[in-house]
Every structure is written in structure tokens, then in C-alpha cells.
Amino acid sequence: MHEVTFKHRKSIESRKKDIFLREVFEKDGFISTTERRCFYFIKDVKKLSEGHDLKEWIDLENNSAPLGKRHFSVFKEHNDGLGTDKLICKIAGIFYAVVDRRLYTIAFLHYFKVSFIRG
């Protein structure tokens, strides 16, 4: 058995984008599931009028606040009683993009999950 689920949700009004992919395999009494999710949220939009506006913004950001750290975590679980193994990796942070003289502040969350179940 092989099953694939793909979801792509985008909301212009709430400034969110969510991409989800899930695959399930079954072979020889084992079920393997992988999930990948990418979630993006536009926190702020600043209109830039001239090239020096971007330079001023960069200087202000460098002097006013420390860089936003990316948060990375790994969770691993093994359960002999249930016959399961899980591994979850998550990373969250902020990045910036300039498009058509607009500066976007974008928060993101990515995760990858793998689980194995003995049938």
C-alpha cells in the first residue's frame, strides 16, 4: 500500500500559507508514515520609497534588536509495548524578503515527522 496526501492552503486576507505532504507505506507488516509541513505567516509589510530606505532599515534593525534566533528541536520516541518509533524535527524563525519595493517580515515553521508502526 502507498498513500500520498498533499494540501496547499493559502489565505491572502490572513497572510498565511500552509503546505502539507504526507506519505504512508505498508510493507511486510510495517507501516511507515512521513509528514512534511511548511507554514508561513507575513508579520509585517513596509513600503520602501528609495534605495536608501532599505539601508536605513537594515542599520536600524542591526542597532535596535538582536537577530531573531531560529528555534530547532528534535524529538525521538521508541515504544516496545506499542511497537512504534517516532522522530520529529521542527525549525521556526523569521526571514525577510523585498518584492516590488516592499519589505516583508515572514515567520515560518517547518516540521518533518517520521513514524514506524509494527502491524
Residues pairing with 35 in the sheet? 22, 113
Q: How far apart are CA 45 and CA 43, in angstroms?
A: 7
C-alpha span between 88 and 94 (Å, rounded): 20
CB 28 within 8 A of CB 1: no
Full-model pTM: 0.75
Is the pLDDT score of 63 beyond 70? no
Mean pLDDT of the chain: 87
Q: Is the pLDDT of residue 14 over 70?
A: yes
What letter would DSSP give residue 65? S
Between 93 and 1, the higher pLDDT residue:
93
